Structure 1
């Protein structure tokens, strides 16, 4: 496919996403199935165009003065990919499979391409209704932080110390990937996004198959490290999902002690078994819920650390899932807040005196973070917040204090300050 034909295809996919209000991955998959002539490189290039357009949807529409898939796509080429109006016009020839020629108005808007005077939600490319929440957290950094959340994310790897002696050993085994050490996590390697947005097939690497590393954003790595779990402890990963943080905890505990991994959605647990085996993990019991029974009811009051990687809106992952931001509604936030209250209450019952809850979200909305913890502290007065300085020190991460945002109850990571996804981490200790 020619570059022009790829743009036409991406506009078609955007139209499908818009008209049917469906996830981008589904629309791209269906397009590929109905256009089997498109090769893997074509499909990857079209996906990259679609995701870049979704990242800049609001600002692209502002520049063009309309919100059609064509307008957003053309404007994205100017904003995100740095093409000038002449280069875009050359692609829009109207010839076979190419977009129709630019109108005079489109050419003028692309030539000007100014966001001067644009409101914050346009300049930062996020839904207007969450602006008040974000302003409270980010203040004057609102627009630059949200612009950082609209960029492409790198591919981060976590080195598995159960299989590899050091990060340097893993790095030296993968010179062809061009990885560099992550700035904050002592276990991370980072691969920058390519020009077309495609990443290397790291899961095909022999070292991945041998369990030397896992794909995990540096923010998620730091969240696991901030749990400060130690060998010999009793730990529950209450929302384990596919097991990314479970694996990190097991390595921190050097396979000593016990981790009980469970999740309210049994389908999310499916990948964890193969991942545990590949990583060489031996101290994890997977507790799969059956018949509505509580799979960890026998552990109440016995646990040193309960990790709550809470269900949330995923606002902090918008670099990777840009279509999700335009599907977010107030109703979905309220659903997540109720789920967070439920899982926090369950965690509180598991913790023994002197034990702790480590609460994590991949969100930057205070409603899901500080406010969720405020609710638990009111319902369970036997708990108290662990001060951020102590939380960082216990994990050996005191150097993070200069780059993270310290909130009332926890620590907020953001792309603009830490270069990670938007993770919130806090710890609550049960009084003895």
Structure 2
């Protein structure tokens, strides 16, 4: 592919990404994979160059652009070499017109920047939210594999940070991809052998499997979710990891209580649906999907799930609230309003290997902890 053809490919992909962000469609990674699956002629260098252009545009533009061309024009305004690829060649983009519109640069929509500032994140911490994420894994089977370039992560004995692009296929079930922050907040469950734990929003089960390892395969974990597709990925993962104490339970949306009626757990973990502001390094186009109305809906869902979870914590047991968000509405304020609604419940102090105290819980940020961003709180039920 010529440089101009690479630019046009990036424009085509950004057209798809912006449309998907508007219509709640597939993630950028998925769209890129589909695009090149249909274009086998593109070599590895071409694919890498186009992918880098697409993600540079996504990371550079906080507001969703009108289309892929306006996104690439914003980059070209600061890069003469890129601007030169708008040459009107057969496979390249049309020349840049006089006064042609381009997307405004800036890493965050104004309303989100204001919310994050109000939640205590300064400009440097906000900028770090759209940096590049490391490749972290959890060692899921002993002995730990010898992976070239792997580095331990302090306080997380099962965690390794690997060089970008490391191929995990040769290590099979020995490692599970899992961000260091995700591993750290799971420790708030204080899982131990013999416990009964309800993982209320288990998804594909990353935290579920970490809990099973903490329990040394003794006890019971009920992994539930309303998303059939995500939950269906958990049993094969558990089987590969040699985990046998996990039961999956598919829930009907808004009828979850009917399926959970007989469950009283030592710990209920709520890894709640959230804005994902803490995972923008991995999914930067998620900034283009979030709106104030969607955030309000998510806050409402989280409150409902916390109330549901509280019904299934045994007396004296614990509820762990986790969101991969740095917005106080989903973290600190969500916990405060839960405690107002549930007299007798208390927030317990947490000592985790990553993060800093924030309100009644602990917050992890990419700038401070080098991990994805999270808020976690451990709430104790009255006896």
Q: Is the 8 A contact 1:316 1:362 kept in 2?
A: yes
In structure 1, the partner of 2:142 is 164
SS in 1 for 2:41: coil
Equivalent residue for 2:214, pick from 252, 258, 282: 252
Tell me whether 1:411 sits opposite 2:362 in the alignment. Answer: yes
Q: Deviations over 1:45-87 (max 9, x none)?
A: 423321221111149x9xxxx97634533554798xxxxx454
Closer/same/farther in 2, CA of residues 385 and 46 from structure 1, 3 Å limit: same
Larger relative helix fraction: 1
Distance 1:251 1:76, change over 3 A: farther
- Worse-superposed segment, 25-34 or 252-261: 25-34
The answer to whether 1:4 aligns with 2:14 is: no
- CA offsets 1:163-213 (integer angstroms, 9 cap, x no match): 214xxx32xx222xx3222345322111243xxxxx2332x22x22xx111
CA distance in 1: counterparts of 2:3 and 2:136, whole angstroms: 29
Q: Which has the higher contact order (CA 8 A, sep 6+)?
A: 2
CA contact 2:13–2:31 (8 Å) conserved in 1:
yes
CA contact (8 A) 1:262 1:295 kept: no
Shift of 1:267: 2.6
Post-superposition offset of 1:135:
1.1
Indicate how the Cα distance of structure 1 residues 182 and 104 shifts in structure 2: closer, same or farther if over 3 A, else same. Answer: farther
Report how many residues are paired.
Answer: 375
Which residue number in structure 2 is paired with residue 181 of structure 1?
152
- Correspondent of 1:200 among 143, 146, 166: 166
Deviation at residue 99 of structure 1 after TM alignment: 4.1
Cα distance, 1:77–1:309 mapped onto 2, change above 3 Å: farther
**Residue 88 of structure 1: aligned partner:** 82
- Please give the root-mean-square deviation of Cα atoms over the aligned residues, in Å: 2.9
Distance 1:76 1:223, change over 3 A: farther
1:295 and 2:255 are equivalent in the alignment: no
Task: Tell whether the 8 Å contact from 1:126 to 1:326 is kept in structure 2 after alignment.
Answer: no
User: Aligned-pair distance for 1:374?
Assistant: 1.9
Shift of 1:27: 4.3
Contact 2:197/2:268, CA 8 A, preserved across alignment: yes
Go from structure 1 to structure 2 and tell me whether the alpha carbon gap of 1:426 and 1:19 turns closer, same or farther (over 3 Å shift).
closer
The TM-score, its normalising length taken from structure 1, stands at 0.78
| Structure 1 segment 55-74 matched on structure 2, within 5 A | 55-58=59-62, 69-70=68-69, 72-73=71-72
Give a deviation string over 1:208-254, Cα, whole Å, max 9, x none.
Answer: 2xx11100111111111222111111111111110000000000111
Q: Secondary structure at the match of 1:256?
A: coil
Aligned pairs for 1:124-163 within 5 A: 125-139=107-121, 141=122, 143-160=123-140, 163=141
> 2:197 aligned with 1:235, yes or no?
yes
Counterpart Cα distance in 1 of 2:217 and 2:184: 19
Structure 2 spans left out of the alignment, 5+ residues? none
- Is this contact kept in 2: 1:360–1:424, CA < 8 A? yes
In structure 2, C-alpha distance between the alignment counterparts of 1:234 and 1:26, rounded to whole Å: 36
Do 2:57 and 2:72's aligned partners in 1 also have CA atoms closer than 8 Å? yes
2:374 counterpart residue number: 423
Q: Check whether the contact 1:182–1:190 (CA below 8 A) recurs between aligned residues.
A: yes
SS at 1:200 equivalent: coil
- State how far apart, in whole Å, the 1-side matches of 2:157 and 2:75 are: 36
Would the aligned equivalents of 2:347 and 2:379 in 1 still touch at CA under 8 Å?
yes
Contact 1:4–1:92 (CA<8 Å) still a contact in 2? yes
Q: What SS does the aligned partner of 2:12 have? A: helix
Structure-1 residue corresponding to 2:312: 350
**Partner of residue 332, structure 1:** 294
* Alpha-carbon distance change, 326 to 184 in structure 1, aligned in 2, over 3 angstroms: farther
Structure 1 residues 70-79 or 257-266, which shifts more?
70-79
Rounded to whole Å, the distance in 2 between the matches of 1:147 and 1:78 is 21
Q: Residues 407 and 71 from structure 1, CA distance in 2 versus in 1: closer, same or farther, beyond 3 angstroms?
A: same
Aligned to 1:218: 180
Deviations 1:80-136 (A, max 9, x none): xxxxx4543554554443445667989xx9xxxxxxxx9xxx65x112112332112
Name the structure with the higher strand share.
2
Structure 2: distance between partners of 1:98 and 1:192: 34
Give the distance between the partners of 1:97 and 1:246, measured in 2 at CA. Answer: 48
